[in-house]
Chains A and B, each alone.
Chain A
């Protein structure tokens, strides 16, 4: 990655999880209805557990 692309990449890195987070929040809070809220909650928790399992011993990295 060149240095010119770095700020753009950083901005994208910040915006992407923000948008995903906002989408999950709106869905879980029931904006798209109860079934969608339950689905979003299950998906969010499943996604979170997948990430936890991907880094189960992350804490030992130095």
Chain B
């Protein structure tokens, strides 16, 4: 791989967007979880729910902050790294990102302060309303971004006039063919991510014999949400698979690791391949017999279409798409297994005492983030060589920026983002190590922002003042 401008612009965008997507995924999942937990607190008045709320609120706030900052960078990269894309698709992408700001950012910005600092200053019901509005804001934000990205995957409602895209039908642009499937798939991914985070941290407390009530309640809530959501996600994923097979067959051909126009019958399901893109074959392939036919064609002897059905100049690189898909799908299978196991253990009253299960939940804590990253690699690398599918090629979309400039900014991004990640992890681990008792179950009746910031910086769990985000 030569480090030309086009490659560096793509690597830079891939790095920044991969880093960014971790945080919205966590904040979307946690925002809805927080709204549910606060709703349960209002309904039951059980202080444990408020303790859970306040514990996860601080981690949500940190994820939200890093997500916003790293998201803004992406908007600039559209213009700086992919100017031709900006020129051509600006009439579509610009208004959608603008609408994201107007609807979701304003909603989040309006209510986030109340959510983080307002429990003492507004009534519980208004505070709950603020939490719901922030959760709604994260959902709206995901909707607009997914709409814009899905339009790049399955463009609709536009014509190309003198190298510029002209919108004919905004409804078709926003509700493009893949958006109704990709949006619920992404939202479910975010909620599953949140569920496994919550369950994993609760399991860690149970294994250490600390904060057992908190641990039991969060393991119970986390596994319950995860179990229902992963079943829905498997269903949604299959619907999306069928849609993408119709609109972007090359992506799904690459995702399954077959090259021949029609695979052997019965087709195996490949878990590992070493693709040779140049010779259009696999150097090595390891799979489960029959499973490819059963899963992909829903018959025992069905054949699967391979990547040679797509001309070589329109093919994505198989390795990226294949392993992105296997990462996502493999984790989804394990998650489904965890969901079934949790039901079984809950049925027998052993959900909180089965050590292997709790240990496994701890291992699964970041699984949602990894699966989401895998899914986005499938979406983005599978669309290649197009940036707007069948409209604009990625190599034609990049800006005429010297390679050394892109390389230096890429290095700068890696350094700065590494600091962000280290800060986020240190903060999160510190919050987890301090435990939920540092987040008081009872809201204080007095306080100011100055006091809140001071007590937060002191990290004093014994303080009577507001702690963490308060």
Residues of A within 8 A of B (CB): 17-18, 20-21, 24-26, 28-33, 37-38, 41, 44-45, 47-49, 51-52, 54-55, 58-62
Contacts and interface: CB of A to CB of B under 8 A. Distances in A.
Nearest to B234: A28
A56 B213 CA distance: 14
Interface string B328-342: 000001001101110
Contact residues of A: prevailing secondary structure: helix
A37 B295 CA distance: 13
Contacts of B242: 30
Nearest to B218: A59
A37 B217 contact: no
Given A21-B336, A51-B343, A52-B224, A58 B231 contact: no
B213 to A, nearest CB: 7
Given A29-B238, A31-B294, 16 more contacts: A17-B340, A20-B340, A21-B337, A21-B341, A29-B237, A29-B295, A30-B235, A30-B238, A37-B238, A45-B232, A47-B343, A48-B228, A48-B231, A58-B346, A59-B219, A59-B352
B448 to A, nearest CB: 36
Contacts of A30: 235, 238, 242, 298
Given A21-B336, A24-B340, A58-B346, A45 B216 contact: no
Contacts of B216: 58-61
Interface of B: 212-213, 216-217, 219-220, 224, 227-228, 231-232, 234-235, 237-238, 242, 294-295, 298, 333, 336-337, 339-341, 343-344, 346-347, 349, 351-352
A45 to B, nearest CB: 5
A24 B337 CA distance: 11
B343 A28 contact: no
Contacts of A59: 213, 216-217, 219-220, 352
A12 B249 CA distance: 42
B228 A31 contact: no
Given A31-B295, A48-B227, A54-B347, A21 B235 contact: no
